Amino acid sequence: MAGENKTALVVSAHSADYVWRAGGAIALYASRGWRVKVVCLSYGERGESARLWKEGGMTLERVKAERREEALAAADVLGAEVEFFDCGDYPMNFTREHLDKLVDIYRSLRPSFVLTHPLEDPYNFDHPLASHVAQEARIVAQAHGHKPEVPVIGAPPVFFFEPHQPEQCNWKPQLLLDITPVWEKKRKAFELMAAQEYMWDYYTRVGINRGVQAERNSDKKGIKYAEAYQRLFPLVTGDLT
């Protein structure tokens, strides 16, 4: 499928979230010629950088700089562009200015779909916040009275990528995406996220498990790796096959 002029948006709470959970989708659509933009609300400098903080003489600015470089390198491997909002971390401080900026991205990018966090996560309050603001910005971008000189967007579907502990987040896999053709890119992107090396094998196992499920739930053979997503809005279609 040609991707000329097609776009997708990923709203990630922290600088590595999009790699573990949506790196396959990003690489897959980028390989089809789509423009994929990742918005990282935070560098994950406080809550998700424990290894860096254990190094002597570490500072907040150094941690943020290292996480930024990791995320940029991973996005390059996956074929995406990334923008950082630097909203802080543990707690995240998403302001009205950040909201307006995200709305502007929706209207300029005009994504065909949006990937973000689920609505619930009792282990990380930044993740549901990212989901909330991704949806709020989408709704504002549809409002004719917000910057009426700029055309509104349509209704891009929103997909929640898989959280670290799905059962605790009331999340269920409703869509299994075959990412076998781009798995090596996703794994390479993993290995650039040195601050969270402990996640590499965990999400490799997730990819393998979802691949098994994808093959069993379809007539496709040769699926080795997959990503799982939950839909927020109903699928609108004229064909059930």
SS3 156: coil
pLDDT greater than 60 at residue 1: no
Percent of the chain with pLDDT over 90: 83
* 7-231: CATH topology: Rossmann fold (3.40.50)
The whole-angstrom distance between residue 85's C-alpha and the CA centroid of its chain comes to 14
Tokens linked to 135? 């949806």
pTM: 0.94
- Quick check: 118 and 171 in contact, CB under 8 A? yes
Give phi and psi for 67, each to the nearest 5. Answer: -65, -35
Q: What number is the average pLDDT over the span 159-174?
A: 97
What backbone torsions phi and psi does residue 8 show, to the nearest 5 degrees?
Answer: -140, 150
- The model's pLDDT over 112-139, given as tens digits with 9 standing for 90+, comes to 999 999 999 999 999 999 999 999 999 9
pLDDT at 81: 98
β 7-12/35-40 pair status: parallel
Place of tokens 């979230």: 17
pLDDT, mean over the chain: 94
Query: Is the pLDDT assigned to residue 188 strictly greater than 50?
Result: yes
Asked if omega into 91 is within 30° of 0 (cis), the reply is yes
The whole-number average pLDDT for the span 202-229 is 97
Q: What is the mean pLDDT of residues 137-165?
A: 97
Q: 60 or 165, which is more confident? A: 165
**What pairs with residue 11 in β-bridges?**
39
The predicted structure's pLDDT at residue 11: 98
Give the chain's end-to-end CA distance (angstroms, integer).
Answer: 19
Q: Kindly state the tokens that stand for 73.
A: 């390198």
Rounded percentage of the chain residues whose pLDDT exceeds 70: 99
Predicted local distance difference test score (pLDDT) of residue 3: 63
Query: Which H helix or E strand runs over 105?
Result: helix 96-109
Task: Convert the pLDDT of each residue in 9-49 to its tens digit.
Answer: 999 999 999 999 999 999 999 999 999 999 999 998 887 77
Confidence band, pLDDT 50/70/90 cuts, at residue 102:
very high
Read off the pLDDT of each residue in 136-151 and give the average, rounded to a whole number.
98
